[in-house]
Amino acid sequence: MKDLGHVNNPWGDDKVIDACSIFGMMDVSGKTFSGRDIITAIGSMHDRGNGLGGGFAVYGLYPEYADLYAFHVMYLSVSGKTEIESYLNSRFRVVLSEEVPTRRVRAIENPPKVWRYFLEVDRRLCDDDVEEEKYVVDHVMEINASFSDGFVFSSGKNMAVFKGVGYPEDIGEFFCLDSYEGYLWTAHGRFPTNTPGWWGGAHPFNILDWTVVHNGEISSYGINRRYLEQYGYRCTMQTDTEVVAYAMDLLLRRHGLPVEMAARVLAAPLWSRLEHLPAPERELYTSLRQIYGSLLMNGPFTVIVAHQGEMIGLTDRIRLRPLTVGTSGTRLYLSSEESAIRLICPDLENAWIPAGGRPIVGRLGDALPARRSGRSSLSKGENFPLHAQVQGG
């Protein structure tokens, strides 16, 4: 267990009422834009948080190092930095290391040191048959589980997470996010419920280029965590949301499921609804529940999941947490509140509330998502074959 005393929240709150704010915006044309608008949008939902966590993920911000893994690491001591840098140098080729630029912000107290490393997997240091992404994941897990005074909180290519203890608008100012540009941004304002407010426990949560921001509570955390540990994931950030990031990495990257199918693992239809579906759909959903039953996410939740070229919004199957979708031009917006979207996009063309358990997906180069009915049957564009990779290997 890490000693979090000098980077934990100064208020000492351990259990508070539920809130949280999430926001995502993506330009499906790939055009990049600064972090100013998303800082404004998430800041407008200030009252949904309490200053115990804020953070952002941005994609496309490191084009000059796009082929390298960008590790962002927080250090709680000088010795922790020395130990982890020695570990990185012995297992990767470190192309560049530098301290992440920050500004002095009155509301940010006792921040840890934050460094970034652009890394290349040196095939001479690993077995020939080891997949590169598995090699990276294994070493992120090892650092976060074995080193007490530091942790990796961002590990993808051409993307980054910036987070900490504070309101999100303060975190945005602290990390100078108005000076970065990306084609996809997500943001989170935290109001911790069952887990401590500390720098590592702020959202987004990340592995490789997968990031997750979450409003709600994963009451199935225990069984979800035990299932993921079978595949080598180690949960060390002291919060339920961490399992969502690892579950998406497992389902989409390692098992190759389509997004729509992965959504029906995390937010599976109720058994009572399956009885009324056509036989092919009933067969598919029953198979998913049998194979991935331990990854079903119980409890109220809304998540925004992002990775290179894609942003996904998903609520629990009975919509116990809010999500509004907006589109305008080539921009897709996902938000806890419609007012936050309209604040930065007054000429919003479309806005709607999606059906529970049905993903909203924006992809680079694709048309923007369109409003659709909440019927339980599969819609056009979701007709993935029953012989798709539905397996637990």
Q: How many angstroms separate the Cα of 204 from the Cα of each of 15, 20, 384?
A: 20, 12, 29
What one-letter code names the amino acid at 136?
V
Amino acid at 169: E
State how far the Cα of 230 lies from the Cα of 242, in Å rounded to an integer.
15
Contact 293, 284 (CB under 8 A): no
Are 171 and 54 spatial neighbours (Cβ–Cβ below 8 Å)?
yes
Q: Which residues are catalytic?
A: 20
DSSP string across 290-350: HHHGGG---SSEEEEEEETTEEEEEE-TT--S--EEEEETTEEEEES-HHHHHHH-TT--E
Map tokens 């100078």 to a residue: 176
Closest by CA to 244, choosing from 182, 183, 306, 161, is 306
Gap between the Cα atoms of 185 and 314, Å rounded = 16
* Contacting residues for 77 by C-beta, under 8 A, at least 6 apart: 149, 150
Based on the number of CB atoms within 10 Å of its own CB, is 286 exposed (0-12), middle (13-18) or buried (19 or more)? middle
Question: How many CB atoms are located within 10 Å of the residue 275 CB?
Answer: 8
- Nearest CA among 224, 230, 226 for reference residue 244: 224
Count Cα neighbours of 271 within 13 Å in the Cβ-side half-sphere.
Answer: 4
